[in-house]
Amino acid sequence: MPSTLITGIGTLVTNDPAYGTGPVGLLADAAVVIDGDTVAWVGPAAEAPAADERVDAAGRALLPGFVDSHAHLVFAGDRTAEFNARMSGQSYSAGGIRTTVAATRAAADAELDANLARLVREALRQGTTLVECKSGYGLTVEDESRALRIASSYTPETTYLGAHVVAPEFADDPAGYVELVTGPMLDACAPYARWVDVFCEKGAFDGDQARAILTAGTARGLTPRVHANQLTYGPGVQLAVELGAASADHCTHLTDEDVAALAGSSTVATLLPGAEFSTRAVYPDARRLLDAGAVVALSTDCNPGSSFTSSMAFCIAVAVREMGMTPDEALWSATAGGARALRRSDVGAVMVGARADLQLLDAPSHVHLAYRPGVPLTAAVWRAGVREV
């Protein structure tokens, strides 16, 4: 593969203070060299080495590709009517997931694959170069393992979420469903999954059930992450920290003890403002988490029910406007923060040796992601060194 010099970069976001100024390591008048699938050189444009090919950024901003560390992309069906009803006054509950479960079970493999491919491509066009993908719309041994098998051909960051809600067949026997999730379903899914997740929430799984599910997953070599404290206060965050989860996701309703636990741990607080936006709910308080010293990631939670957006730029704009984040913090959380939530050190930054996941904006600065909400600013995307957009 020929090497590529990207030069004339007005603002380069490296996310590495060693390369530049401020929390996101900004470098003006910069250049980057891609060699194969990695970043081979970063520095001032005036000092850039030669390469086989040359791209002139013409003063625009170059950033790491977005790392979307929380998404539910294997599904079929449509929930427009539910969204419409909610925007007309009805409240959101976890039960709506069952609508998508019925459609997903009825879908052929090829339909699920095509839907996933379309969403991954849609995200890539908007600068997302790595996306996590959960199961959770099958809720049978066969349908959960099928979802993860399909997802694993698109991303290594696959998450077993058999514990999304109790399967309808087990409505009167939630303990029986937990046995299935921690037994035969886990056996069938573990080969295709890196992570184990549980929706720890009223109407889904309580703290004891969540603990049993995460512990069983850990025993099979999966690493936990938790849907925690989205709709109400609850045990999810504390459980995530106690079990060494990579991430506690949502974190909308937190006590002071929850905030302190996150700040004193390696568990990332992943905030998903698309969910609050699409359910007309109160946003999580990113400022409170950051001021306490917690690591914050931003992700889309892309799913057909509560947050049907694949746009990380949209999440950044909302986080800056509504959640007390600065543009630098929001950009970091959507790139390096997502990488931390997936325990990846090779993505989320532009530095020598990192995977060449890059996006060029049609703007002079990353601040435009929040300053120009809703405007498609992605001009070019490289994923693992390959120009994709």
Binding site for Zn ion (CB under 5 A): 301
Nearest approach in angstroms of CB 281 to Zn ion is: 14
Nearest approach in angstroms of CB 201 to Zn ion is: 11
Residue 38 tokens read as: 């990695």
CA distance 231 to 238: 16
For 46-55, which contacts have Cβ atoms below 8 Å and span 24 or more sequence positions?
48/5, 48/7, 49/5, 50/5, 51/2, 51/3, 51/4, 51/5, 52/2, 52/3, 52/4, 53/2, 53/3, 53/4, 53/5, 54/4, 54/5, 54/7, 55/4, 55/5, 55/6, 55/7, 55/380
Nearest approach in angstroms of CB 8 to Zn ion is: 39
One-letter amino acid at 217 equals G
Residue 245 tokens read as: 């989860």
Q: Which is nearer to Zn ion, 157 or 328 (by Cβ)?
A: 157
Q: Which is nearer to Zn ion, 258 or 301 (by Cβ)?
A: 301
CB atoms within 10 A of CB 326: 17
Nearest approach in angstroms of CB 96 to Zn ion is: 13
Q: Which is nearer to Zn ion, 260 or 281 (by Cβ)?
A: 281
Nearest approach in angstroms of CB 72 to Zn ion is: 6
CA dihedral 123, 126, 130, 132 (to 10 degrees): -40
Q: Which is nearer to Zn ion, 26 or 204 (by Cβ)?
A: 204
Q: Which is nearer to Zn ion, 201 or 301 (by Cβ)?
A: 301
Of 234, 171, 153, nearest to 198 by C-alpha is 234
Q: Which is nearer to Zn ion, 16 or 301 (by Cβ)?
A: 301
Q: Whose CB is nearest to Zn ion?
A: 301
Nearest approach in angstroms of CB 274 to Zn ion is: 10
CA distance 315 to 296: 13
